[in-house]
């Protein structure tokens, strides 16, 4: 079995940013997928359990830049499914989202950087599980004004929300709201922000506003945006009569 074929590292595929180019005030977002197939056919069956409840396998992942251990911290933003131990005798499929905070991106050397992920040990053996290598071009400059569009700034705000960095997320979202107060995505993320701040009433107001704007802007969409509807219902809110009737059909 070739482990390299089963561990795939890729950059965030947001088309709004320059693909493969990283600026100082932009978060570096990566996805690592790990898939084990036909695990029961492995011959070396005694040596393939990674991680413990005290030291989860995903926290053992190390990143290398140009073949050297990275000097910046890669934060885990999301992880599916969440389990501390993974036994390679069993088929699995994991997806982990990692991110480097914008204020730390400046510590990455400028120029072309080759990035690779390693899972350092299998039961304390010297074996490595290695991902593919990807290349990024680190520029020693701030995000150009031409790239400071709403989708890009929203992506940065969402990164800060994922990190529970309320102040930095709010600064960006307030600026976006002032520029475009009817943006569904801005209103939705302001709802997320207030939810993190545990202000349920404000969160509901923003979610309902996001739903209202969606209905105005997309009147032919009869179902409405599922993610906003789910947020409203999970917080005990009520849907507008038109949507509420459709939900009950």
Is the domain of 238 the same as that of 115? Answer: no
Is the domain of 132 the same as that of 156? Answer: no
Is the domain of 105 the same as that of 175? Answer: no
For strands 129-130 and 75-80, give the pairing: unpaired
Tell me, yes or no, whether 132 lies in a domain.
yes
How many residues comprise the chain? 249
Tell me, yes or no, whether 144 lies in a domain.
no
Residue 196 banded pLDDT, cuts 50, 70, 90: very high
Tell me, yes or no, whether 115 lies in a domain.
yes
State the virtual CA torsion across 157, 160, 161, 166 in degrees, nearest 10: -100
State which of 76, 109, 138 marks the end of a domain. Answer: 138
pLDDT score recorded for residue 244: 53
Tell me, yes or no, whether 143 lies in a domain.
no
State which of 138, 161, 193 marks the end of a domain. Answer: 138
Q: Which two tokens stand for residue 111?
A: 């120029």
Helices 166-179 & 150-162 angle (0-180, nearest 10)? 160
Mean pLDDT for 65-78 is 93
Domain of residue 195 covers 149-248
Tell me, yes or no, whether 32 lies in a domain.
yes
Residue 116 to residue 127: CA distance in whole angstroms: 16
pLDDT score recorded for residue 50: 76
Is the domain of 132 the same as that of 183? Answer: no
Helices of type H across 118-199: 150-162, 166-179, 184-196
Mean pLDDT score of the chain, rounded to an integer? Answer: 85
222: left (phi > 0), else alpha (psi -120 to 50), else beta?
alpha
Q: Which range among 3-7, 77-81, 102-106, 245-249 shows the weakest confidence by mean pLDDT? A: 245-249
Please name the residues in contact with 118: beta carbons below 8 A apart, sequence gap of 6 or more. 61, 62, 63, 64, 128, 129, 130, 131
Per-residue pLDDT for 173 more than 90?
yes
Mean pLDDT for 83-93 is 76
Query: pTM value?
Result: 0.81
Tell me, yes or no, whether 77 lies in a domain.
yes
Is the domain of 189 the same as that of 231? Answer: yes
We report the CATH number of the domain holding residue 159 as 1.25.40
Is the domain of 95 the same as that of 14? Answer: yes
Per-residue pLDDT for 239 more than 70?
yes
16-49: pLDDT as tens digits: 677 889 999 899 999 999 887 655 554 554 556 7
Is the domain of 118 the same as that of 34? Answer: yes
Tell me, yes or no, whether 111 lies in a domain.
yes
State which of 138, 163, 196 marks the end of a domain. Answer: 138
Tell me, yes or no, whether 88 lies in a domain.
yes
Tell which residue, 117, 121, 120, has the closest CA to residue 133: 117
Is the domain of 155 the same as that of 121? Answer: no
- Could you give the C-alpha distances from 82 to 56, 104, 146, 225, 233, in angstroms and in order? 10, 26, 38, 27, 25
Number of structural domains (the chain) is 2
Is the domain of 9 the same as that of 121? Answer: yes
Is the domain of 31 the same as that of 127? Answer: yes
42, 88 Cβ separation under 8 angstroms: yes
We report the CATH number of the domain holding residue 76 as 2.60.40.10
């Amino acid at each position: 079995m070739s482990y390299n074929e089963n561990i795939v590292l890729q950059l965030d595929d947001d088309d709004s940013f320059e693909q493969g180019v990283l600026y100082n005030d932009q978060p570096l977002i990566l996805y690592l997928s790990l898939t084990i197939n036909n695990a029961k056919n492995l011959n070396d069956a005694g040596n393939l359990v990674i991680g413990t409840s005290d030291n989860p396998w995903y926290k053992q992942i190390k990143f290398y830049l140009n073949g050297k251990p990275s000097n910046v911290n890669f934060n885990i933003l999301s992880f599916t499914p969440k389990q501390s131990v993974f036994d390679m005798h069993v088929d699995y499929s994991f997806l982990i989202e990692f991110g480097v905070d914008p204020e730390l991106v400046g510590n990455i050397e400028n120029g072309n950087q080759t990035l690779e992920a390693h899972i350092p040990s299998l039961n304390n053996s010297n074996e490595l599980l290695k991902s593919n290598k990807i290349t990024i071009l680190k520029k020693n400059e701030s995000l150009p004004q031409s790239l400071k569009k709403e989708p890009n700034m929203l992506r940065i705000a969402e990164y800060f929300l994922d990190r529970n960095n309320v102040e930095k997320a709010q600064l960006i979202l307030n600026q976006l709201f002032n520029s475009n107060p009817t943006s569904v995505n801005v209103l939705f993320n302001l709802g997320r922000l207030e939810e993190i701040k545990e202000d349920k009433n404000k969160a509901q107001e923003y979610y309902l506003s996001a739903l209202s704007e969606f209905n105005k802007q997309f009147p032919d969409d009869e179902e409405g945006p599922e993610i906003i509807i789910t947020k409203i219902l999970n917080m005990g809110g009520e849907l507008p009569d038109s949507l509420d009737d459709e939900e009950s059909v």
